[in-house]
Chain A
Amino acid sequence: MTQPARLRHGGRINRDRPVAFTFNGRQYLGCEGDTLASALLANGVHMVARSWKYHRPRGIVGAGAEEPNAIVQLGEGSRTVPNARATQVEIHEGLIARSVNCWPGLEFDLLSLNGLFSRLLPAGFYYKTFMWPKSFWRHYEHFIRKAAGLGEAPTERDPDYYEKFNAHCDVLVAGAGPAGLTAALAAARSGARVIIADEQSEPGGSLLHARESIDGLPAVSWLRRTLAELAAIPDVRVLARSTVFGYHDHNFLAIAERLTDHLAEDRRRGPRERIWRVRAKQVILATGACERPLVFTNNDRPGVMLASAISIYTRRYAVRTGNNAVIFTNNDSAYATVLDLLDAGVRVAAVVDAREQPRGPHLEAARQRGINLMAGSAIVDVRGRRRVQAAVVASLGADANGLRGNDTTVVDCDLIGVSGGHSPVVHLYAQSGGRPLFDEGLAAFVPGPAVQTQRSVGGCRGSFALADCLREGYEAGTAAARETGHDAAATLPPGPGTLERHDYTLRPLWRVPDPPGHARGARQFLDLQNDVSASDVLLAAREGYHSVEHVKRYTALGFGTDQGKLGNINGLAILAQALGQDIAATGTTTFRPNYTPVTFGAIAGRDLGDLFEPIRLTALHAWHVEHGAEFENVGQWKRPWYYPKPGESMHEAVRRECHAARNAVAMMDASTLGKIDIQGPDAAEFLNRVYTNNWHTLKVGQCRYGLMLREDGMVMDDGVTSRLGENHFYMTTTTGGAARVYAWLERWLQTEWPELKVYLTSVTDHWATIAVVGPRSREVMKGVCGDIDFGAASFPFMSFRDGTVAEVAARVARISFSGELAYEVSVPADYARHVWKALMAAGAPHGITPYGTEAMHVLRAEKGYIIVGQDTDGSLTPQDLGMEWIVSKTKDFIGRRSFARADTARPDRKQLVGLQSADPALVLPEGGQIVDRPQWTAPVQTTGHVTSSYFSDALGRPIALAVLQSGRSRIGQTIYVTLGDGRVAPATITHPVFLDREGKRQHG
């Protein structure tokens, strides 16, 4: 074994299974069960990163989600993961990792020059310098982005897949440490359905390195027994590698389960990650506590670690984190680390305790082993650059704000373990809507009252003793199960046995006094990832930033990928002190989801590519594909756009299709139009209210065009409705508006007019509709339908007949969206292909030509027919569109009252007009803004824009529709359409109907 700092015995790693991995281009060996951080430490690698602003060498600090420094890029190519915490990455054969925050390399870092100029880079430096002058930002940005480091997103398509599970349970437990496990145990024993999730590779939390015994068993043995019991109970699900990252309304929680990233690539099967979307009746939060660092000068040197992390590396991973340690603490818990180090044969040179009279059970045990205890003292400075070489210790004054004299003691060491107390992980509680409260005794924020059906237990509640964790968990599990109807309290076996309890004695120490002769707070780091020091917070306070949220943004405290899990509390305590107020009044910043970063792959799940959105195909789709159609997306529909013949350009194909429609006959698939079947004795009255025109006068067998407005008077949809019977109508809507219109009508019926007896059914997919268009269309229809009289007078424009088309029962309506003589044939969708082919065959002698949406657009634009959503944008009234003719003056309807509003009646509103480009070869750009003068300098007031623009085959020149201020009174004038490249194109304002203004053709 070539792991120089690996302990010979103990730990939960498998020494028989060496694992080879690469870090920053060098090969290392670790053991199965290692994290990347523990494996690096076992190889004696402490320095793993450089800080982002000053590029100071940085080492591994923690052992979990709180890690600010050991941020790595994993893997290469399409599977690379940026910004993973080395403390949470399990190593596997072939793992490749590199530091994200050093350029050009870890050992030789050009940007560490920043450190020499650190006085130039105080809080707010970026705002003060780089944001001014504004135009210079693009010059700075490249450099800053590079200096800021952090990982790189993969640029290739993700080869893996991810999935989502929806789940329900009685009790969801977040965290499988001692408190979470006893909570799950009690709930499961009571018969509740339980899910317990833990972010680590195996459940157990602090039990995996605890010194204590439970029920006479070593903690890990008790853990094994408990997990075996849980596994044997039905309806209990234990999820490892599963982070509860979001706690949302009504006990909806999201869990990210990592399924394969811990395996060598050739062993990965199935989805890479799974998002659990859990609705829980009861939630128990057992997320533990995070040890808090102490703030002293050069506290960021590699080799300064959390005391608890040292214990974890020593006992769980069998790693010797140093040879000669100094422990710096303000509470008793760090003495457990002292014992762990002594057990592992590590020399403990000194224990520096801020308390004047330290006490506690761990301290007493350590004292018996013989320790050099320096009470009432603090580490004020650290010697060594790439690795700790010595701690400089001084005596604290009575109020801890100053030193007692200028004497210091230098203690040689290569490892400094720090404990400034513990911060309960209240993130999920806060996400649930709760407000954490400051507990003076613990000097920590703890959960306040529960907002949802939720309980916090153990460390995340501020109960740091193992005995309290076990008891609280068991009680909460029992109670939560009872509230879900599983009351077994009377028969439950007792929870784990009681342990000796002790008080949590702590001397708050938010900022260690500066060493003699040093500037205030400089190089006393709060946020190691963002290089925020105590002096930055003090400066922010001096400059008038008093809100903790403002200080956060000004200094970047807590902005890193670790979200300030370690340093925020120290920062806000220092701010409180600077402002002369207490910590409770200063408050915390907001704890937002997600607790730790979640990959985009997991969030997206299967909702990608073809599964991102439904694709709707008409019954004729296969025919269109077989005949070479190019398709256009219209809402979720695929519609034929045009049907190019071999060698034909789009322009040529569309001209050919238009030519057929105007001169012979053409047909299109109009099945995507929204279709709503409307029945009931009040159906006509209902239409009268939702459309602008009169519907009582429509006779059975007739069709009528309708314009639908919102209540503010603006056009929202249009379409033709047919009266099938006295109480029966058939409405068509725009393709894209179908769902919206259907919902709109239902809402008015259900909420405003429940007295109307009207019933709506969406029949969009039930009917296939084929438009047969052109002067020869009557001949074609006669060829396929023998039982309808197609005489011009007996079957007039805007009426429909039921009959038999190609032996299929059909409804034939004489309506036109092209201005030509035209018929729309509707048949049950299953018969669409048969009828379509029959029409094609009947039309062949007449040169029938299938056409797509582009030709449809050209034909309708030649006639000045609007497309709602293209020529309108939700800010146009019927009057703006020149459609006063369809607005009834004798009845009320939705939107009518708004016509009289001052803004709606304004004379200079934009109006629909036509445009004729001066250049006969130029099709004006749709969306092109209109200006009144050819020469102008930005900013300039535009007066309208082009909404539709095509080349018209019938006219042999381009045409365009536009909306233009006071446009109708300006017909004949010249305006200028901006082309987007600085040039403008002159165009003449015209009437919006370019062809057959009298409508002779469609009545033919």
Chain B
Amino acid sequence: MLLIPCPWCGPRAESEFACGGEAGIVRPGAPDAVSDAEWADYLFMRTNHRGLHREQWWHAHGCRRWFIVRRDTVTCRIDGVEKMGSAGAAP
């Protein structure tokens, strides 16, 4: 069970959180301007990255804030966390 450093509450057990999957998925600003394929890519396609991965987590049984965790998908080592909207970070 991961020990996740919530940027608001500090380290807490994984069972308090829910994972929201890959971070940085950008919703097209003008949905009608993108093709069906581009829209499908936004909707369904994820990288399933091996190695360091930015992903959204939600402290569901805690402060209920969403934030971003940089986690190695091989070792589960957590490299760091980012608050939503922190400088230069895509959600």
In contact, B75 and A433 (Cβ under 8 angstroms): yes
Indicate if the CB atoms of A747 and B76 lie closer than 8 Å: no
Tell me if A897 counts as interface (CB < 8 A to partner B).
yes
Closest to B29 in A: A892
> What is the minimal beta-carbon distance from B27 to any residue of chain A, in angstroms?
6
Residues of A within 8 A of B (CB): 248-252, 279, 433, 451, 711-712, 743, 746-747, 750-752, 754, 892, 896-898, 900-902
Known A747-B66, A750-B84, A751-B91; judge A897-B75 contact (CB<8 A): no
Q: List 5 A-B contacts (CB under 8 A).
A: A252-B13, A433-B75, A711-B27, A750-B65, A751-B84
Complex: chain A residue closest to B91, CB-CB:
A751
B43 on the interface (CB 8 Å rule)? yes
Contact among A251, A252, A896 with B31 in the assembled complex (CB-CB below 8 Å) = A896
How far in angstroms is the closest Cβ of chain A from B46?
Answer: 14
A contact residues around B64 at 8 Å (CB): 746
Name B76's contact: one of A250, A896, A898 (CB within 8 Å): A250
Residues 33-91 of B at the A interface (beta carbon under 8 Å):
34, 36, 39-40, 43, 56, 58, 60, 64-66, 75-76, 78, 84-85, 91
- A747 vs B3: C-alpha distance in the bound complex, in angstroms? 22
**Is B2 engaged at the interface, CB distance under 8 Å to the other chain?**
yes
Q: How far is the CB of A825 from chain B (nearest CB, A)?
A: 30
Q: Which residue of B lies closest to A896 (CB)?
A: B31
> Does the CB pair B39–A898 fall under 8 Å?
yes
- Complex: A902 Cα to B87 Cα, angstroms: 38
Q: Are B1's CB and A746's CB within 8 A?
A: no
Closest to A433 in B: B75
| Known contacts A250-B1, A752-B91, then 12 further A-B pairs from the complex at CB < 8 Å, ordered by chain A residue | A451-B75, A712-B43, A743-B60, A747-B20, A747-B58, A750-B65, A751-B56, A751-B84, A892-B31, A897-B32, A901-B36, A901-B40
Complex contacts, B18 vs chain A, CB 8 Å: 743
How far is it, in angstroms, between the C-alpha of A226 and the C-alpha of B31 when the chains are bound? 71
> B58 to nearest A CB, angstroms?
7
> Which residue of the partner chain, among B3, B32, B60, B66, contacts A751 with CB atoms under 8 Å?
B66
Residues of B within 8 A of A451 (CB): 75
Total number of B residues with any Cβ neighbor in A under 8 Å: 28
Interface of A is mostly: helix
Using A743-B60, A751-B56, A897-B31 as known contacts, say yes or no to A249 and B43 having CB atoms under 8 A apart: no
**Chain A residue at minimum C-beta to C-beta distance from B56:** A751
Pick from B20, B36, B78: contact of A902, CB under 8 Å: B36
The reply to whether A897 and B1 form a contact with Cβ atoms under 8 Å apart is no
Contact B85 A754 (CB under 8 A): yes
Q: Let me know if B58 and A743 touch, CB within 8 A.
A: yes
- Collect the chain A residues with CB atoms within 8 Å of residue B76's CB: 249-250, 433
- Across the interface, do A249 and B2 meet the contact criterion of CB distance under 8 Å? yes
Q: Which chain A residues border B84 with CB–CB below 8 Å?
A: 750-751, 754
**Complex Cα distance A266/B43, Å?**
62
Question: Which residues of chain A are near B13, meaning CB under 8 Å?
Answer: 252, 279
| B contact residues around A902 at 8 Å (CB) | 36
Q: A247 CB to closest chain B CB, in angstroms?
A: 11
Min CB gap A751→B, angstroms = 4
Determine whether the beta carbon of B66 is less than 8 Å from that of A750. yes
Chain B residues with CB under 8 Å of A711's CB are 27, 43
Among candidates A250, A751, A897, A900, residue contacting B2 with C-beta atoms closer than 8 Å: A250
Tell me the smallest distance from the CB of B62 to a CB of chain A, in Å.
Answer: 13
**Chain A: minimal CB distance from B7 (Å):** 12
Docked complex Cα distance between A526 and B31 (Å): 63
A447 to chain B, nearest CB (A): 16
How far is the CB of A554 from the nearest CB of chain B, in Å?
Answer: 29
Given contacts A279-B13, A433-B75, A892-B31, contact A248 B60 (CB under 8 A): no
Chain B min CB distance to A737 (Å):
16
The smallest C-beta distance from B63 to any residue of chain A, in angstroms, reads 11
Kindly provide the distance from the CB of B67 to the nearest chain A CB, expressed in whole angstroms: 9
A252 touches B3 (CB 8 A): yes
Is the beta-carbon distance between A248 and B27 smaller than 8 angstroms? no
Taking CB atoms and an 8 Å cut-off, the chain B residues in 4-34 that contact chain A are: 13-14, 18, 20, 27-28, 31-32, 34
B contact residues around A746 at 8 Å (CB)? 64, 66
Complex CA–CA separation, A252 to B11 (angstroms):
13
- How many angstroms between the C-alpha atoms of A252 and B27 in the bound complex? 37
Task: Name the B residues within 8 Å of A750 (CB-CB).
Answer: 65-66, 84
In the bound assembly, the distance between CA atoms of A892 and B66 in angstroms comes to 24
Give the 10 A-B residue pairs with the shortest CB-CB distance, closest first: A897-B31, A250-B3, A751-B91, A750-B66, A252-B1, A249-B76, A754-B85, A751-B66, A249-B2, A250-B2
Whole-angstrom CA separation of A251 from B3 in the bound complex: 9
Q: How far is the CB of B24 from chain A (nearest CB, A)?
A: 10
Report how far A279 CA is from B58 CA in the complex, Å. Answer: 21
In the assembled complex, the Cα of A433 lies from the Cα of B1 at a distance in Å of 13
The CA-CA distance from A788 to B58 in the complex, in Å, is 44
A896 CB contacts on chain B under 8 angstroms: 31
A897 to B60, CA, bound (A): 29
Q: How far is the CA of A752 from the CA of B26 in the complex (A)?
A: 9
Find chain B residues with CB under 8 A from A747 CB: 20, 58, 66
How many angstroms from the CA of A251 to the CA of B84 in the assembled complex? 28
Most chain B CB inside 10 Å of its own CB: which residue of A433, A712, A897: A897
Q: How far is the CA of A896 from the CA of B91 in the complex (A)?
A: 22
Give Cα distance in the complex from A743 to B1, angstroms: 23
Complex interface: chain B residues within 8 A of A897 (CB): 28, 31-32, 34, 39
Please, which residues of chain A bring their CB within 8 A of the CB of B85?
754
Nearest CB on B from A573, distance (A): 29
CB neighbours (8 Å) of B78 from chain A are 250
Closest A-chain residue to B60, C-beta based?
Answer: A743
Query: Which residues from chain B contact A249 at a C-beta distance below 8 Å?
Result: 1-2, 14, 76
Residues in B neighbouring A279, C-beta threshold 8 A? 3, 13
Please, which residues of chain A bring their CB within 8 A of the CB of B43?
Answer: 711-712, 898
Asked whether A900 and B36 contact (CB < 8 A) given A279-B13, A751-B66, the answer is yes
Q: Which A residues are in CB contact (< 8 Å) with B40? A: 901
**How far is A892 from B28 in the complex, measured between Cα atoms in Å?**
12
A751 and B83 CA atoms in complex are apart in Å by: 10
Q: Report chain A residues within 8 Å CB of B58.
A: 743, 747
Say yes or no: A901 contacts B39, CB within 8 Å: yes
Give A743 to B66 CA distance when docked, in angstroms.
10
**Nearest-Cβ distance from residue B68 to partner chain A, whole angstroms:** 9
